[in-house]
Structure 1
Amino acid sequence: MWASASFVGVLIVIGLPLWWKTTEVYRVSLPYDKISSFDTLSHSITTELTVLANDEATAAEIIRQIEYAFKDSDVTKLKITKSLISKQLLSTLDAVADEHEAVEEVGAVYDLTKHNTFYVVQRKPLFQDTWLAGDRIIFILSGLISILTASNTVAEALKHVVYQTSVVEGARSEAADAARQTRFPPGAGYHIVLSVAHPRPDALKVELDADYIGSFVDELSVLHNFTLKSQWLHLLDFDFQAKELEERTATHVSELPTINLALYAVPCERAPLVIYDSDGEISNIVINDEVGASINSAVESIQRASELMARGDLLQAYNMSQSAFLAAETAFMEPSLLALLYFPDDQKYAIYIPLFLPIMFPVVLSLKNLLLWFRGKPIHKEKTE
């Protein structure tokens, strides 16, 4: 009996804890609560808007119309400030007839290159009620009667053209269109290849202003490090089969992720061209320290980006969101995840129980005799003659 008791004791005290410890798979604790809270997190963008008017009443009317137009927008939050136009700038704007010169005069006084800022400027010599003069300025016609209609026009232009609130709201919608569902590979920069497919160079003359496209890409340098290259593909009539174009695209000319843009010069007999479209936990994947650090970094970057957006610092918010994207992709593409992908916690029982089951039968059967022995009762009944 002492042998059976010692065997059971060693199995329970040493064997089971040793088996449990040796089959334990280390998993990093992830911030699931913070990740789940992103669904209910209110994302908003704060942007600065300055109204430059001739008098206080006009500025108040313009601000009232703008605030009324954006009252239902929970994405774009306007931080509106008003200021009276100085006499010197007012006289200069009245004397200038050309709109582009008026923009230069305003730019000499106010910084029109500052990110996340916009100016609404009142001006008397204007051929229409409002005129969107650039990326960060719109002019509004002076006058008591015209200011009422022009203010409404300015508010609609800001909502639908400048800030495009419907596009921003649609970007966070779950029912995104196919274009927004396209995922680009992560990278510190992108290599853009513009391919011009010209099937009939003898019949159609096509001119491409590469400098104009290059200047546009330079404007996007604050978002990413883009490298632009272009190529001409003559006599390529792929008959709307995209694979023929893919075979000749310069995809592997750079180590950076490549974005291919194709411009198809449609022959006159085919124009216009028409195209027809046809609880959050991951318990079964082993998360090590490196993957856990990447996930935590992505979560913290998302929270930081949301705070920066609410403050109106869009450039830093974008940088933080980019860091979150790269960290999340790094965690998702970690090669070590594949090694223990199909080893969830319940697999230890399926693997090791057949090994322990043969020796567990005699142990379980001997428990009854051990209990009787501990109680001092006879184990075997005496034979009666």
Structure 2
Amino acid sequence: MALETVEGEASPPPNIAEAVNIQKKPPPESPQNVWTRRMVILAFWAVALLLGMPVWWKTTEVYRASLPLSQMTDWAEGKNCKPVFPLRIAVKAPMLSSQEIETIIRITQHALDDLNDFSAHHLRLVPADPIIHRMSIQEIQEYGNKTSSQRNDSEDISLLLNLKPSFGSSTSSTQLQPYAATLDIYFPNNQVPLSTATSSPLANFIANELQALFSEEQASLSYLMASIPSVAQTSKSKALSSEMATKLSRRSTRSFKYAPTYHLTFSLFTAKARPSAWEIEAALEEYLSPLLASLSIISNFTIDSQVQLYATFSPSIRQPEFDHERQAWTVRKEDLGGFINAAEWPLSPSIGAGPTVNFILYVPDSAQSPLLIAENGGNSWLVPQWGGIQIMNLPFSADGSTRPTVLTNDDLRPAMHVFSNQLMSLLGLPDTPNSLPLKLSTLTRLHTTSLLSSASSTLGALARLTQSLTSIAIPDSVATSVTTTLYRLDAACTDMKEGRFASALENARVAEAEAEKAFFERSMVGQVYFPEEHKVAVYLPLLGPVAVPLVMAALKEIRLLVRGRRVQDG
């Protein structure tokens, strides 16, 4: 049997197999297409860089007004103003000749300079103007309260020294007017020094009296300046005793911070239904208005009043206890701080722009009257930086029927005197000298120094803020307020050096208000709490989808361009 041989299909030629396995490639781009693609990519980049970036930069640009940072820092460091207090004391002596007055002034000035140990505060004796010799005490005070532009004078008169010969007396004496800045000095006629004298018992007496008169003011100014770092570096403080330092510290803790306007609230709280009314308007007009008129050279005041019946004690304190020895009800001193029933008594902490000073007249229940403080037997006390409280113990019968329904003007007289003293303490008036105009002058200088320091430190804080946060906006209003602050600070410092303290206080008050306005600008405060990470979180989702295609296309074209050049070079 014959075998057949089956042959398979013939294998394709080798060149055909290689052609099948080779992957097909796109046709090469023409130079025109490459140029078009690159122009399109370049156009997108041009739009992004030349149009998009400037528009984004302009629309998101933070406007920063130019600020005089160096001047602001210098004020904060106390380099631009060294507080000085030249007090001008006019000497009036109608019974002496002009030559004798000049001799007394010369000798007394030397004695004053020897006694003074606080260079920033110095007393300057000058002859009284001829117009003053013809004035009464009230007219002299009004003359001294006028501004320099009103009286055509360069300096305020801090004190009028009225020299009066005393016939029949061998010793000198003084009398300070309580409601005028006038010190009357009575001296023996034989103590008038000769024109060639270099010392005199009368001059030494006057110098010692003036030094004692302004000793508390010097201590207060020295204490205030020592507590201000920028001022303490440039001024030498006066050495204070521990008692005086404690006294001044207690006063600063008790008194309100200076404000251009204070709101006074007078409240009548009664434990029962009687009394239900009081003649507060007449009492304020008679007993408090003169004081407020005098204080108006420093601050303004608004007043309101209220009455509440059935006012109970605060439940947080112990109830009054009966003292058999005094035959009176007593409340302990440690409970005075919680005496006010804040939950039920309608006492607003602040009304209007300025701080509120509260004065409470409390009439206790007949069953708990008279009500006194256990430790000292008093019936009034101060609450630091808040107000004052006065307990009025009215006469009553066993059933309480004799209690008046209305507290008259005469009934309110003792309480109004207490409230007046409490107001002066809360405003920071010094205890001495015993002359209201001199106390107000001292308070004027204290407030001026404090306001200058506050405005200067605020400017320094604003300068540091703008330098540390470069992305924070600085509107033109801030630059305007800073310029006004610097101008007012310069004016206040000049006024102080020239003895115009009323004008210095006004300039310092405006400077402090403008500095606070600039520092707490709303647009700036909002951006202080907006860090840079927030901006990245906002822009990244918007710019990412647009930037990725542009960047990848640019990188691809750069690779093709580099590869083509290598092929040409190879």
Instruction: Determine if the TM-score, normalized by the shorter chain, exceeds 0.5.
Output: yes
In structure 2, C-alpha distance between the alignment counterparts of 1:38 and 1:79, rounded to whole Å? 28
Deviation at 1:285, TM superposition (A): 4.3
- Contact 2:267-2:306 within 8 A present in 1 as well: yes
In structure 2, C-alpha distance between the alignment counterparts of 1:33 and 1:68, rounded to whole Å? 39
Aligned counterpart for 1:72 among listed residues 105, 114, 118: 118
- Contact 1:285-1:342 within 8 A present in 2 as well: no
TM norm structure 2: 0.50
Partner of 2:265: 193
Tell me, yes or no, if structure 1 residue 63 matches structure 2 residue 109: yes
Tell me, yes or no, if structure 1 residue 17 matches structure 2 residue 54: yes
Of stretches 1-10 and 21-30 in structure 1, the one that deviates more from structure 2 is 1-10
Tell me, yes or no, if structure 1 residue 51 matches structure 2 residue 91: yes
CA distance 1:315–1:10, change in 2 (3 Å): same
Deviation at 1:216, TM superposition (A): 0.6
The AA in structure 1 aligned to 2:175 is: W
CA distance 1:212–1:297, change in 2 (3 Å): same
Aligned counterpart for 2:504 among listed residues 317, 331, 338: 317
In structure 1, C-alpha distance between the alignment counterparts of 2:220 and 2:43, rounded to whole Å? 73
What aligned pairs does 1:1-385 form with structure 2 within 5 A after superposition?
1-39=38-76, 40=78, 41-42=80-81, 43-52=83-92, 54=96, 55=100, 56-70=102-116, 72-74=118-120, 76-82=121-127, 107=136, 111-113=140-142, 114-115=144-145, 116-117=156-157, 118-125=159-166, 129-134=173-178, 135-143=180-188, 144=191, 146-147=201-202, 149-161=204-216, 164-172=217-225, 173-174=227-228, 179=253, 183=257, 189-195=261-267, 210=284, 211-230=286-305, 237-238=313-314, 239=317, 240-241=337-338, 244-245=341-342, 248-249=345-346, 251=348, 255=352, 257=354, 259-262=356-359, 267-272=371-376, 280-282=464-466, 283=469, 285-331=472-518, 334-337=521-524, 340-343=527-530, 347-357=534-544, 359-360=546-547, 378-379=564-565, 381=567
In structure 2, C-alpha distance between the alignment counterparts of 1:247 and 1:31, rounded to whole Å? 52
Of stretches 256-265 and 38-47 in structure 1, the one that deviates more from structure 2 is 256-265
In structure 1, C-alpha distance between the alignment counterparts of 2:204 and 2:548, rounded to whole Å? 91
1:130 partner SS: strand
CA distance 1:182–1:174, change in 2 (3 Å): farther
TM norm structure 1: 0.70
Deviation at 1:79, TM superposition (A): 4.2
1:378 partner SS: helix
2:253 partner SS: coil
In structure 2, C-alpha distance between the alignment counterparts of 1:300 and 1:18, rounded to whole Å? 39
Q: CA RMSD in A?
A: 4.6
- Contact 1:32-1:281 within 8 A present in 2 as well: no
How many equivalent pairs are there?
355
- Contact 2:313-2:339 within 8 A present in 1 as well: no
- Contact 1:51-1:80 within 8 A present in 2 as well: yes
In structure 1, C-alpha distance between the alignment counterparts of 2:60 and 2:476, rounded to whole Å? 18
The AA in structure 2 aligned to 1:130 is: T
In structure 1, C-alpha distance between the alignment counterparts of 2:493 and 2:107, rounded to whole Å? 32
CA distance 1:156–1:148, change in 2 (3 Å): same
- Specify the structure having the higher radius of gyration (Cα): 2
**Consecutive unaligned residues in structure 1, runs of 5 or more:** 90-104, 203-207
CA distance 1:48–1:231, change in 2 (3 Å): farther
Deviation at 1:217, TM superposition (A): 0.8
In structure 1, C-alpha distance between the alignment counterparts of 2:308 and 2:491, rounded to whole Å? 45
- Contact 2:105-2:125 within 8 A present in 1 as well: no
- Contact 1:51-1:82 within 8 A present in 2 as well: yes
1:281 partner SS: helix
Partner of 1:98: none
- Contact 1:191-1:226 within 8 A present in 2 as well: yes
1:280 partner SS: helix
- Contact 1:305-1:317 within 8 A present in 2 as well: yes
1:223 partner SS: coil
CA distance 1:72–1:307, change in 2 (3 Å): same
Deviation at 1:4, TM superposition (A): 3.6
Deviation at 1:367, TM superposition (A): 6.1
Deviation at 1:219, TM superposition (A): 0.8
What's the CA shift string for 1:321-364, capped at 9, x where partnerless? Answer: 33333334444555555554534667544532454345545655
What's the CA shift string for 1:264-294, capped at 9, x where partnerless? Answer: 77943524379999x5233364333334433
**Consecutive unaligned residues in structure 2, runs of 5 or more:** 1-37, 146-155, 192-199, 230-247, 275-279, 318-336, 363-369, 385-462
- The percentage of counterpart residues that share the same residue type is 19
